[in-house]
Chains A and B, each alone.
Chain A
């Protein structure tokens, strides 16, 4: 298990990390969520010693992270970068060797993983010959070819189209199912909500919420009632009661207590003909807005 405890880091007058503490467990996908500049990348880089922390401790399986532990970590930095003129299989194998695999094992692992990622027929191609999406896959492969116990992926969904997002979701799930700890950062909360087992929400270098997705969604202490109308309702009338329009014929309202349900449904019915309604915990985006003000 990866444990971060009280991480502090200042860059000049800017406080990047202000007591960041959380864990990433084997077999779990942990989403590290926050706006751009919230401190996600600084935290992830600090795991590899790429940032000199002012204070705080980072441990893996109860021990401070050392070179041996780092060789069991895989990293996909936010700033992507690989050798443009190097064949992709050699490139992935090179980074696997740097993580401790011997040459043959690294070659085999690189070929296998690239094949799994759909690049089996491009092994000898130089990176620059690949499309942006395929270059992203190679970047992922360099992070994971040595089968790390901890997969640290900084904004892995950046620049991916919906089908690539789906493939990556499935792949990350398979890694967690194999017992690996997966920690990824993202600022696209809705995109990753269904993927995470646990989430950590960070803002201005401070952890605002952490726990299982359900627990974090319970944090604000209310539910959201969603409604659909046959035709456009009287939004002005509903707005006075706290309803917000999410479309021309759909809307939502915060429900602090389940006992409010009949009352709210009655108000909605007076404003227009209801077709469907549902209520659920607030989305991660709602929670994020709530906890970060």
Chain B
């Protein structure tokens, strides 16, 4: 079985977000880039499967749409345990554009399961996996919180509004994963880090793709007013305020 994981690089989730150029662009000066947390969990699960199933998982490939500057993120994925990587050499402008690039790069290749994160910690499109699946005319299952392979069959749990379904899925398909797929992202081992540079990283030219959306301006949330504080002794007053002033309870 061959597994592909789509990865993007996003600002570290602890980063304070700032904008420049009249709030038209993200201020990248103090940003540390990381693998999108959802994608990192997807990759972690793929590696876990390979560790437990051995040769039944023939290969783990990661693919990224990004400029050369995103290669450290790709190398991190290789250090964690991916076998090889593909980078589509394009600036990831918006979801449809990225999904189109991915689909073009993937369609001539052969994968059984394509993993994508449910959301991304940058522009929160929650969209690339589903768009790519449609462009590949491949089935997709969303919000997967567990993925197992037994005797060549793929079993998944997916969260739906109001519950969890246990499903058997036929391959090939696009698995759009969320938290729970793996507990914590894998920390790369020292040997993995040193071997990352020796693993193949194929750079492919981008296809001609349209952009359907454009972020024209950003804004930060309005700062909150001062917090009105109460003590253990006057909890009743708080309840009174919530009831009478704020009318919330």
| Genuine A/B complex | no
